[in-house]
Amino acid sequence: MDSVVENFYGRLESMLSHYGVEILGKELAQKGHPTVQQTFMRMVVAFIKEMAQREELPWEARNRATIRLCKRLYEHVKEERLPLI
């Protein structure tokens, strides 16, 4: 990871821990600029795709449900193409 991505990841991790996903998701959906919303959605789809390709590791119970959900979600979003603005 380059330093810009590491910095972003660190800030994102901190914000998610401090505010929670429900608050941040609601704020972005209600008040976010459409370009930011669209970019965020592309990131969510990329995350779903990456997680769907992971193997379920028997000792990693925290991610097992996420991987399974992403595998199901990816079947619905893999054909979608979000416009680049």
Distance of CA 56 to the CA centre of its chain: 18
- pLDDT the model gives residue 82: 72
CA distance 34 to 40: 10
Domain-wise residue ranges, the chain: 1-31, 33-85
Backbone angles phi, psi at 66, to 5 degrees: -65, -45
37 near 49, Cβ under 8 Å?
Answer: no
pLDDT of the chain, 85 residues: tens digit per residue: 689 999 998 998 998 888 888 998 999 999 999 989 998 998 999 999 999 998 887 777 878 889 999 999 999 888 877 766 6
Distance of CA 82 to the CA centre of its chain: 15
- pLDDT the model gives residue 60: 78
pTM for the structure as a whole? 0.79
Q: What is the DSSP letter of 39?
A: H
- pLDDT the model gives residue 33: 94
- pLDDT the model gives residue 1: 67
